[in-house]
Chain A
Amino acid sequence: MKRVFGDRKTIAILLGPTLIVYVLLKLVPVCWSLGLSFFTGNTLSGFTFIGFANFVKFVGDPAAVQSLIVSIVFAVLATVGQIVLGYLLALLYVFVLRKGSAFVRTAVFFPMVLPTVAVALLFRNFVSVGANQGPINDIINFFGGKSVEFLASTIGTMGVALAMTLWSSMGFYAVLLYTGLLDIPDEIIESARLDGANGPRLVRHIVLPLSMPILLSSVIFSLNSTLKVFDSLLALNNGGPGTSTSPLTLYMYRTAFDYGDYGYGSTIALVLTLLCLAFTLTVFRSSSRKADA
């Protein structure tokens, strides 16, 4: 075996094809896009080099700044929700339901397999008003309230989007964290119990610290996927009302493809990449500091 991997030709043969595909499909477009952010125009009108003008434009562009805020707010709220609910579910699986958790685990995980667009249409109908009023407003009417058009307001749309995201993804994080909790040796928990740690104190001082690594990975997963949210907000309300729930991804898409400015679109994409990087590094940094302490 050692001889096989010591042979450079073998390495090249085994690694080559994958590496070529990776470079062509991943690195080239990434670098291309990076280069494009210094240009303006599109494939039809041609590209003009404009240096850092796109970056200057981004800073002074109210729509871009608004999208940036939407992305961050959505990512932070969705991540907090996903992790807290996921962790609570995981605790429920491990400490309350124990062996019988398989069915609940599957049921809660199930929405994850549904396409986001289908989920968005489902939620649109849940909260709809007017001629085809949805069940949410029926319930509000039942308790004597007036129908609310959730999708006509920013907060309403954001709320529905968050509820939708949490409903469809908390099962995934629950399973992810559940596997982490299973790794905690029973003996430690037993001895903690003997020492008098119970309920919240057990979780706070024993379970939480021991499941920290998987918790941090979940936070990073969650932040990176919610920062790049696109389909759910697009399908739910088209980034509306107005552009008030349009995240960076949607703004990037519209700039590049609807308004035909590939250069500025690439700049927005780069900002998004940097944002993901910044969030990830912050989480890592805080975790390593904790590890040192």
Chain B
Amino acid sequence: MINRRHRRTALAAGIALASVVSLAACSSGASNTGSTSGGGATGKDPAKFTVLTANENPALATELKNLAAGKCKAENSALPLVDQTVAQADVVQKITLLASQNALPVQFIAGTSMVRPDGDLGKNGLVLNYETALKKLGVWDDILPAAASTVNSVYGQMVSLPYQYNIEGIWYNKAIFDKLGLSEPTTFDQLMSDAAKIKDAGYTPFATDGADAWPVTRLIGMYIFRSLGPDAMKDIQSGKAKLTDAKYVKAAQEVQDMAKNGYFGSGFVSTNAAQANNLFLTGKAAMMYDGSWLLSNINDKSQDVIGADNVGLMPFPAVSGGAGSIDQWPANAGAAMAMTPKSYGPKVAAWLKCIAQNYGSQALQDSGIVSGFKINTPVKNIDAPTKMVQQKVSGIKQTVLWFEALMDAKSTALAQSNVSLLTTGQMSAQTYMSQLQSSIEANK
């Protein structure tokens, strides 16, 4: 009896000790502040050039492999490229874990808020400042200024390479527009009356990937930028304005009305990206809000039934009496692709230089990807839709971000998960915006 009691006490003490030790172990992780992020080859070269990309974006890994086999062969034999992938939804979790174990790949995809100066990676000095690094390497000119400014405005610092440079707008089917006698609408009211005509003619006005929600929240954001001007979302972040202000609520209301009028088609809440693309590219839907990454689908003849010549791209129209203008295109530079200063050695620097000099033409040549790198080798036989996007990009004077760009992870998730309630009328525009506003305030 005594023995048993004694043993039980020992066991309890053991468990208590184990948990205390493990707690102590994890709290010591706090002192993990690294060196200052900065230029030149400050870190130590790892054995491999590991790059972690998103499953959802296989083109990036392919293009890097092409570089390794071609233009960057010397860099690759000095430091071989190894590609790793992660599901976009697991990025934050995986990077948090790897960073805390000091096991970050050389270059990696990261969550938007993580790499900002006040983010988990940013404040621990775990992200390399590309501007300083590329300037030291003498290749800063290979980054297009528009792309650099987009990266800076999203992440607050130059901590991502613009492997993509996307603009977003409304893709439309020229044949359907011609048939119904419509031209590119320049105001939101025109867009709505066109949508009504398209619906009456038996087409879905907007093919909408409601399952991913962001194509719908983008519309709210664009309406806000057009009616309140390009700084409208910055004002929310700085506290100068609130999402519950009448003009912001109006944007959510307009999108709710679009859904109510059936402009997104039946069953859009559970329609996924592939289904929405299919609706548009087979001519069942007349329009679709999406980014220029849709080019890879448009240029793929097996997917694009309506023909590349039939595809047009127009900017989100102006809102009458609004402070924004129709020529302010929303732009982004893809998901954050950061490097860590710890593994930024001379061989990694050589890789970085080679990527900056050659990625632009390589990606454009192989897959028609418009990136934020300069095209240093002339590219021939560009598909017509890609050329059209390039022309639009070159004419852009001012860009805007997207609705959730400056929000924290939790508010972003809330904005996107609640939008299905908003569009199905289960939540009012006022409630949608006020829930979002309180989330933004709570997570500041």
Distance from B395 Cβ to chain A, minimum over Cβ atoms (Å): 35
Q: Considering the complex, which residues of chain B in the window 27-42 have a beta carbon less than 8 Å from any beta carbon of chain A?
A: 27, 29-32
Is B120 in the interface zone, CB < 8 Å from A? yes
Please state if B417 and A240 are interface contacts (CB–CB under 8 Å).
yes
- Binding site secondary structure of chain B: helix
Please state if B15 and A131 are interface contacts (CB–CB under 8 Å).
no
| A residues in contact with B92, CB < 8 Å | 257-258, 260
Is A39 in the interface zone, CB < 8 Å from B? yes
Please state if B427 and A242 are interface contacts (CB–CB under 8 Å).
yes
* Least CB separation from B89: chain A residue: A258
Please state if A131 and B421 are interface contacts (CB–CB under 8 Å).
no
Which candidate, B96-104, B311-319, B345-353, is the interface stretch facing chain A? B96-104
Q: Considering the complex, which residues of chain A in the window 233-259 have a beta carbon less than 8 Å from any beta carbon of chain B?
A: 237-244, 254, 257-259
| B residues in contact with A257, CB < 8 Å | 90, 92-93
Please state if B424 and A47 are interface contacts (CB–CB under 8 Å).
no
* A44-B29, A45-B30, A239-B417 as given contacts; A34 in contact with B409, CB under 8 Å: no
Is A152 in the interface zone, CB < 8 Å from B? yes
Is B23 in the interface zone, CB < 8 Å from A? yes
Q: A237–B123 Cα gap in the complex (Å)?
A: 35
* Least CB separation from A28: chain B residue: B18
| B residues in contact with A260, CB < 8 Å | 92, 96, 120, 409
Is B84 in the interface zone, CB < 8 Å from A? no
Distance from A180 Cβ to chain B, minimum over Cβ atoms (Å): 35
Q: Mark A29-51, 1 if CB is under 8 A from B, else 0.
A: 00110111001011111111000
Please state if A130 and B265 are interface contacts (CB–CB under 8 Å).
yes
| B residues in contact with A259, CB < 8 Å | 409-410, 413
Number of A-B contacts (CB under 8 A): 133
Q: Mark A109-130, 1 if CB is under 8 A from B, else 0.
A: 0000000000000001000111
Is A151 in the interface zone, CB < 8 Å from B? yes
| A residues in contact with B266, CB < 8 Å | 129-130, 147, 149
Please state if A39 and B121 are interface contacts (CB–CB under 8 Å).
no
Distance from A99 Cβ to chain B, minimum over Cβ atoms (Å): 45
Please state if B18 and A241 are interface contacts (CB–CB under 8 Å).
no
Q: A202–B304 Cα gap in the complex (Å)?
A: 67
Please state if A32 and B23 are interface contacts (CB–CB under 8 Å).
yes
Please state if A254 and B413 are interface contacts (CB–CB under 8 Å).
yes
Contact with B270, one of A43, A46, A129, A254 (Cβ below 8 angstroms): A129
Distance from A195 Cβ to chain B, minimum over Cβ atoms (Å): 51
Please state if B269 and A23 are interface contacts (CB–CB under 8 Å).
no
Q: Considering the complex, which residues of chain B in the window 95-134 have a beta carbon less than 8 Å from any beta carbon of chain A?
A: 96-97, 99-101, 120-121, 123-124
Q: Considering the complex, which residues of chain B in the window 237-286 have a beta carbon less than 8 Å from any beta carbon of chain A?
A: 265-271, 275, 278-279, 284
Instruction: Name 15 extra pairs, CB < 8 A, besides A32-B23, A238-B417, A259-B409.
Output: A28-B15, A31-B19, A35-B20, A42-B100, A43-B26, A44-B99, A47-B29, A48-B30, A130-B267, A151-B269, A241-B424, A243-B414, A243-B418, A258-B92, A259-B410
Counting from the closest, the 5 A-B pairs by CB-CB distance are: A46-B30, A130-B267, A129-B267, A43-B100, A31-B19
List chain A positions with a Cβ less than 8 A from chain B.
23, 27-28, 31-32, 34-36, 39, 41-48, 124, 128-133, 147, 149, 151-154, 237-244, 254, 257-260
